[in-house]
Amino acid sequence: MSAYLVSILTEGSIFGIMALGLNVIWGWAGDFDLAYYGYVAIGAYMTLVLTIGPPVPPAEFILGLQLPYPVAVAGAVATSMAVGLVVGLIALRHLRGIYFSIVTLGAVYVMYVMAGQYVRLFDGYNGLSGLFDPMGDWFGFDYQTYQYFFLGLSLVCFVLVFLFMARISSSRFGMALRTLREDERAAAAFGRDIYRLKLKGYVLGAGIGGFAGALFAAYLSAFNPSAWSPVEVIVLYSAVLVGGRGNIRGVALGVLIMGVLVQESTRFLPQIPNHPQVVLALRGAIIGLVLVLFLRFRPQGLLPERRYIDREPAVEPAPQAT
Amino acid sequence: MHEALLTLGFGIVTAAILALSAVAFTLEYGVTNVANVSHGEILTVSAYAAYVVHQRTGSAVAAALAAALAGGLVALAMYLSVIGPFIRFGATPTVIFIATLGVSFIIQNFLVIGFGAENVAYTIDPGAPQNIGPFLLTPLDERIVLSAAAITLALYFVVSRTKFGKALRAVSQNRELARVTGINATRVAAATFFLAGLIAGYAGFVLAESVGTFNPYFGFSFFLITLTASVAGGLGRPFGTVAGAVMVGIILEFAGNYISASYNLAFAFAILAIVILVRPRGLFTNARRTVFE
Amino acid sequence: MNIPAVATALEVRGLSKHFGGVYAVENCSFQAPLGQVTGLIGPNGAGKSTAIDLISGFKLPDAGTILFKGRELEGLPPHRISRLGLVRTFQAPREWPALTVIENVVMARWDARRESFFQGVFGLGRGQRAAAAEERTRAREIISELGLDAVRNERAGSLSGGQKRLVEFARIRMAQPELVILDEPMGGVNPVMGERMAMAIEGFIATGTSVIVVEHNLPFIERVTQHVIVMAQGTVIAEGPFESLRSSQAVVDAYLGEVVSDGKA
């Protein structure tokens, strides 16, 4: 397998996990949450500060521990969930629709600005780096073999998250979340505590985002504000939309399609000398166009949400006393 | 105290530019019920138009006119190609919101293709600062504040005294009802977008001049502050928006001065979040909005 | 007012709510008897919907008491009131459109344990599965009884208005509340469905659920109710069996404005 293919599949698995987390908040609970990528970023940053050891001046960042990777991942997920809880507590109390989206946009912007400007946190625009081949030394892999190992790890993680999502989807908890999306008032009239339930879904989504971020940090071996660019964000949201919001298979399909689109859409264009950003910008414009077209012509995505078909025979009604 | 007054003076200049952008955004929202996330791109495109024209003709006036016209055309195009069709198709406000986010992204990328991603320097000699009362302003600042005031007044006349203004208010309040009384809501909305674009375009020119430099993303950053001013004033109410803009502009100037300018946007959002949470209908109404009411 | 000594399902005393200086509900008091169908009628703007919103927790009263099963409901959020056994419908059918009919019915019951995150996701014990199976069976019975079996697996959003109302009724049967408040159930429904809905309401009573029905369709009210409350201008102006209200001057006056504007006599 070529190195290119290995890295594509690895990145795809990680994006898949990201998309599944967003699906919980946007697909199932129905809230267009613009803060989501922030949880991914927090997961990445926290993983790094928990594994790369103390900062070497002039670099500055918090913590700087040297914990084993799995422990750092747990810490990263916990942090993402905590931040998600704070944002959710504020944004989910009274806000819906575009008001909710705007406040979450504000939240992610504050996170972005803090990460970039408040140098003491994560070394500002320099960002963090140095997470090389986590867990590679446990097994004594060389560089080549490690790529396969990490690919395998990412795929396994994706499958585990996918199965977890499948379990939630068919569980009463998942169905309750969807009743909130479908009709909140009716859900409340039938006993659901809307605020609490939405919060649970939101924190769950944030946690999955953090988990994806932890893997992403290992994949990139670094993270800084430039890895937190609009393109990544738009591709992620487009993947969930294009594939089918609310349907985990759809989301996986969406990641596949957007991944192919991103890689292949500008493959056949020549690089214009002195203007390397043109190709990237063209790709960005194409992705934006795909998003708008799907919103207009196929907002439910390619794979609509599945319904449970009850195949048991009909039950004869008990004879009524007239 | 003196410094506070100076800051206040600068705040008024910021507020003037903000008011223009915010009023335009509010006009767009009022007539379609859509939060146009690509509003900032109207300013960006206009800034580029002004720059190009200024380079060719050397005239700031021509540049200003070009900016306004470009803004009007871009806004009109946004309505005709995206917002209008989505409304007719029956999309929810959130869906249109996301769509305009996509449009914003598309426009930014096209600008990068056309002009590159680097900062473009747009310097106009602002003139020597003069003391106007307790404030210290350059002639450029004065022009900005005066033209903003003039445009706002002109807009007030259009909205309250002309036939078009009446139709605009009718459509803003109740689209269906306006239709029933024979008003072509689509045409009114399109014309309103053009008008909003003219104002936003001019604001883009002024902002670029005032800051001295811009790039394909500068409109989007300013949009976030614009949004704060509009929500503070009450989405859909143009004159509350002006008050909101003045407030936000001044607050930001003070915050930037006494804390740090680079956290500007974060502050804007903090204000926005607080306003939405406490008074989602804007600071100047009594309405409280809960999930159920 | 002389009210016969019957057990009450719901008692409202001095309920008031104003919006910006206008009283939508003002000093409204009534009792809904247990085990009966009580109608709540009145001209448009009488405050009926607001009263229901206040009772079910969707709006906060400015003053007044709401007594249900010995508890005061003012200030409680809707989900808590629902968990106490008071369920309501809305003027427009509020099914969960993307969920199928049977999913709609199954989800009508709030199950604290099975809907919690950990129990719901990780609890796969036999007890859980038995409970789920029993629940599905019950849902199927109710669906059959209401004649919805043909559309059991259809998404609720694709049904007709009348069918959606029946789904709502199925949900109510599933939830088995002590009291259900129906907000204009005949709204947007083909009059042909009227009898089916009346029978469904009788089914509620038979299974131990008291009913309050808000309706404009007076023949329907006459058909299903044993006790009627008339509201106008935010307060109760008359109470009693439907027959007795025909001759009440207060009621005629209240409706006169509406009747004249409707063009009916």
* Domain assignment present for B283: no
Best to test chain C binding among B281, B285, B288, B293 (most C CBs inside 10 Å) = B293
Calculate the average pLDDT of chain C: 87
B237 falls within a domain = no
- Predicted local confidence at residue B47, as pLDDT: 94
pLDDT at B292: 46
Which of C161, C160, C167 shows the shortest CA–CA distance to C95?
C167
Q: What domain count does chain B have?
A: 1
Q: What pLDDT shows up at residue C263?
A: 40
What is the Cα A297 distance to its own chain's centre?
25
Structure confidence at residue C261 (pLDDT): 42
Chain-centroid distance, C-alpha A266? 25
Contact partners for chain C, using 3 or more CB pairs closer than 8 A, are: A, B
Enumerate residues 147 to 206 of chain C having a beta carbon within 8 A of any beta carbon in chain A.
Answer: 149, 152-153, 155, 171, 175, 203, 206
pLDDT tens digits, A93-134 = 888 888 899 889 888 988 988 888 888 888 888 888 888 888
Encode pLDDT of C34-70 as tens digits: 999 999 998 888 889 999 999 999 999 999 999 998 8
Q: Highest mean pLDDT range out of A261-270, B154-163, B229-238, C114-123?
A: B154-163
* Better pLDDT: B267 or C236: C236
Helices (H), C146-262: 161-175, 194-206, 218-224, 242-246, 249-262
Nearest CA to CA, how far is C52 from chain A (Å)?
12
Cα–Cα distances in angstroms (integers) from residue C41 to residues A105, B18, B44, C46, C230, in the given order = 46, 52, 58, 9, 5
Q: In the structure, what pLDDT confidence band is assigned to residue C262 with cuts at 50, 70 and 90?
A: very low
The mean pLDDT of C131-155, rounded to a whole number, is 90
Question: Is the pLDDT score of C5 beyond 70?
Answer: no
What is the pLDDT, as a whole number, of residue A260? 85
Q: What is the pTM of this model?
A: 0.90
Q: How far apart are CA B249 and CA B7, in angstroms?
A: 11
Task: Give the pLDDT band of residue A268 (cuts 50, 70, 90).
Answer: low
Q: Under a CB-based contact definition with an 8 Å cutoff, are residues C239 and C230 in contact?
A: yes
Q: What is the pLDDT of residue C126?
A: 65
Helix (H, G, I), strand (E, B) or coil at A98: helix
> Shortest CB distance from C141 goes to which of A171, A175, A317?
A317
Domain annotation covers residue B235: no
Single out the residue of B291, C85, C137, C98 nearest to residue A175, CA to CA: C98
Residue-wise pLDDT for A75-89, tens only, equals 999 999 999 999 999
Percentages helix, strand, coil for chain C (3-state, rounded to 5) are 45, 25, 30
B276 close to A (CB below 8 A): yes
**Per mean pLDDT, which of A287-291, A302-306, C247-251 is the most reliable?**
A287-291
User: Torsion over CA of B211, B213, B218 and B222, rounded to 10 degrees?
Assistant: 0
Q: Which residues of C touch B286 (CB under 8 A)?
A: 20
Q: How far is C39 from chain B (nearest CA, A)?
A: 25
What is the per-residue pLDDT for C124? Answer: 66
Determine the pLDDT at residue C6.
Answer: 66
Does position C191 have pLDDT exceeding 70, yes or no?
yes
Do residue B224 and residue A96 have CB atoms under 8 angstroms apart?
no
- Residues of C whose CB is below 8 A from A171: 120-121
Say how many residues make up chain B: 293
Q: For chain B, which ranges sit under pLDDT 70? A: 1, 258-263, 279-293
- CATH architecture, domain defined by C1-95+178-193+205-265: 3-Layer(aba) Sandwich (3.40)
Cα B97 off chain centre by? 17
Residue B239: inside a domain: no
Tell me what the mean pLDDT of segment A138-149 comes to: 83
Q: How many CA atoms lie within 13 A of B91 on its CB side?
A: 28
Q: Which of B107, B113, B228 is the mutation pick for testing A, counting most A CBs within 10 A?
A: B113
Question: Percent of chain A, pLDDT > 90?
Answer: 54
**A102 Cβ under 8 Å from any chain B Cβ:** yes
Q: Is the ipTM of this complex over 0.85?
A: yes
Does the distance separating the beta carbons of C140 and A190 come in below 8 Å?
A: no
pLDDT given at position A322: 45
B131 falls within a domain: no
Residue C251 is predicted with a pLDDT of: 78
Q: Is any Cβ of chain A less than 8 angstroms from the Cβ of B277?
A: yes
Place of tokens 């005949």: C186
Does residue B30 or residue A315 have the better pLDDT? B30
- Answer whether the bond into residue A58 is a cis peptide, omega within 30°: yes
CA atoms within 13 A on the CB side of A111: 24
Q: Best interface-test mutation with A: which of B37, B101, B215, B217 has the largest number of A CBs within 10 A? A: B101
pLDDT score, position A75: 96
In a domain, B234, yes or no: no
Residue B122 is predicted with a pLDDT of 84
B103 belongs to a structural domain: yes
- Return the structure tokens found at A123: 């070394």
Q: How far is CA B206 from CA A186, B13, B64, in A?
A: 50, 10, 8
Q: Chain A contact for C246, CB < 8 A?
A: no
B89 contacts chain C (CB < 8 A): no
Q: What pLDDT is stored for residue A271 in this prediction?
A: 64
Evaluate if residue C189 carries a pLDDT over 60. yes
Residue B289: inside a domain, yes or no? Answer: no
Query: Could you tell me the residue range of the domain that residue B41 belongs to?
Result: 2-123+140-226+251-269
Residue boundaries of the structural domains of chain C = 1-95+178-193+205-265, 96-158
